[in-house]
Amino acid sequence: MKNVALSFRPLNPSWSLVKRLLNDYHTATTLIHTGPPLSSLLHQELVRLLQQTLRSTQREIQPSPGLTPVPGSPPASGPRPGSTSVSAPAPGFPQSDVAQMEALLLERDGQVQALCCQMERLALEKESLQRELKGLKVKVGEINEQLSMLMETIQAKDEVIIKLSQTPPQGADGNAPPLQDCSSAPPPASQQQEINNLKDSVQGYKSQNKFLNKEILELTILLRNAESRERSLEVKYVALEAKLCQVESKYLVLLQDLKSPVCSSSEQSPAREVISRLLEDALDNTDPTEHAVFKPHPVR
């Protein structure tokens, strides 16, 4: 964008030159919109050049001093510094074209100023992001230092572990005991006898454990059978007790009837009928299995 060169040459008071000025202004604003970001100094320089060209154009299109001014019109005054409007219409130009040109120039000037403000805001955001990036870089550096320290510590520990694993155990004389000699040397007779005794003891304990486990299993089966027989006997006891209560109630009724006097032995009273019926019921309900002895189930 810095290589863009705008041709700001002296302009003659003609409509073609004004159009060329507008085209240059439009090209500059288009480059500002579509080109890469510009610095604030470059924006200010571009605006200054455009305003300078506009002022020179206004001076050139003003009427010469020899021309007679229009009656009733105010005297022409020079352009103010930094002004972007045309002070008086040039001869041969319609008033509508001049007004349109002024409006267009004002619009472009406002766009340039807005772009300058936007660039300043973006510059501030860039500075804040750069500061934040610096802070993050500092944090990353600290984390990298901590990581390197941890890696060194881990490496030192690994080296110590490797050294300890490679160092053989020392014997009584300070030398490593020969492993092959220990494995190949036969044990003494006393140790062999003790080992055999221990093996026999282990075998005896295993046999005893099997026998005890078998006894425990049989006792568990016997206990379960005894519990089942006990429950069945309880049920039978309850049933017999209920039948006993029924028989006792029947005999009580019979005894109460026997206490009442009999009017005549010849005629049958209702009490006699009740007594005979109760006796028949008692004889019929007698179950020979009730008096049988309950024997426990054999344990298998």
**What is the count of structural domains for the chain?**
2
Average pLDDT score over residue span 194-219: 89
- The distance between the two most distant Cα atoms of the chain, rounded to a whole number of Å, is 183
Tell me, yes or no, whether 296 lies in a domain.
yes
pLDDT recorded at residue 35: 53
| Residue 156 within any structural domain of the chain | no
Each residue of 27-62: b (16+ CB within 10 Å) or e?
Answer: ebbeebeeeeebeeeebeebbeebbebbbbbbeebb
Mean pLDDT of 105-132: 88
Cβ pair 31, 76 in contact under 8 A: no
Q: Is residue 241 part of a domain?
A: yes
Whether 133 and 217 share a structural domain: no
Same domain as 132, residue 214: no
Identify whether 155 is part of a domain.
no
User: 131 and 223: one domain?
Assistant: no
CA dihedral 31, 32, 36, 42 (to 10 degrees): 110
Residue that is last in its domain, among 74, 102, 137: 137
Q: Which of 77-81, 180-184, 200-204 has the lowest mean pLDDT?
A: 77-81
| Domain co-membership, 30 together with 131 | yes
Q: Does 175 reside within a domain?
A: no
Percent of the chain with pLDDT over 90: 19
Average pLDDT over residues 196-223: 90
Work out the number of other CB atoms within 10 angstroms of the CB of residue 222.
Answer: 12
Question: What local confidence, expressed as pLDDT, does residue 50 receive?
Answer: 73
Mutual orientation of helices 95-166 and 40-61 as an angle, nearest 10°?
Answer: 170
Confidence of residue 5 (pLDDT cuts 50, 70, 90): very low
31 shares its domain with 132: yes
Q: With the CA atoms of 93, 95, 96 and 98 taken in that order, what torsion angle do they form, in degrees rounded to the nearest 10? A: 70
**What confidence tier does 92 reach under pLDDT thresholds 50, 70, 90?**
low
What is the residue range of 123's domain?
Answer: 15-62+83-137
In a domain, 70, yes or no: no
Q: Structure tokens of 242?
A: 């209920």
Instruction: Establish if 20 belongs to a structural domain.
Output: yes
Cα(156)–Cα(170) distance, rounded to whole angstroms?
24
83/81 Cα distance (integer angstroms): 6
- Tens digit of each residue's pLDDT (9 = 90 or more) over 149-198: 989 889 888 888 888 888 765 554 555 555 444 445 556 788 888 888 88
Check: CB of residue 42 under 8 Å from CB of residue 17.
Answer: no
Residue 19 resides in a domain:
yes
pLDDT in tens, 126-159: 999 999 999 999 999 999 999 989 898 898 888 8
pLDDT at 240 over 90: yes
